[in-house]
Structure 1
Amino acid sequence: MGLDMYAKITAEKLDTEVDFTVTESTEIHYWRKHPDLHGWMEQLYFDKGGSADCFNCVGVVLTAFDLDRLEKAIHAKELPDTAGFFFGDSDGSECDDDLAFIAKARQAIVDGYTVYYDSWW
């Protein structure tokens, strides 16, 4: 039980960056209980017009611009403090892993895929 977080790619062309459905995807990264990153993704989801009552089991597309913003937030240690039932704690040791994800996501975009974040808790 807890916060499971996924970065996935799809070759499907999406007509929106939030509240979409994909039929085929591939996981490119996984995090376990990194709530501060989840909080950043949640804010991105709502900034892009997401309409779910709860940011759980809904995706948000990550563009190259979003990845640039995320990288800056990670380097500046500006991921929002986020808490939730069974979310665990982000402790700052996730930085290298987060940056490795960003590199993979950027390459996936160059390769023509759509990158998105999803979670389940």
Structure 2
Amino acid sequence: MAIYLAGLGSAAEGAARSLYAWWNGLQFTPIQWVGLVLGGIGALLLVGSRLIPSESAKDRRAAAKAEKQAASNGHPASPGLPATSTSAPASRPAPAAAPPAAGGESEFDEISELLRKRGIN
């Protein structure tokens, strides 16, 4: 249906006729047999490589268990790293707010102090 709606019907018909003519004219010489065998092996390797899992089932179960444990602890799991309950980030106490200075310079003083603490001059 997609070929018809895309207007490629005549191109598909030509490709099918060309393939049919190739198949009927095939004499199966040793060179052609080698080509067909190599094409078949290549197709089997492509299909077979998709069937082999990239991880073992044991690794997938361990990763799923670590994700569930991290979710239940409230910590997002990092991909590729095992989740542990002791990996909570160390929190620093919030700095005490300085009382506003007399005058209109208080905001600028706060900003300059923050920049100085970050090492930006």
The bucket for the TM-score relative to the shorter chain is under 0.3
| TM-score, normalised relative to structure 2 | 0.21
The structure with the greater share of residues assigned to helix is: 2
* Rg comparison, structure with higher value: 2
Normalized per residue, which structure has more strand? 1
TM-score by length of 1: 0.21
Larger relative contact order, structure 1 or 2 (CA cutoff 8 Å, min sep 6): 1
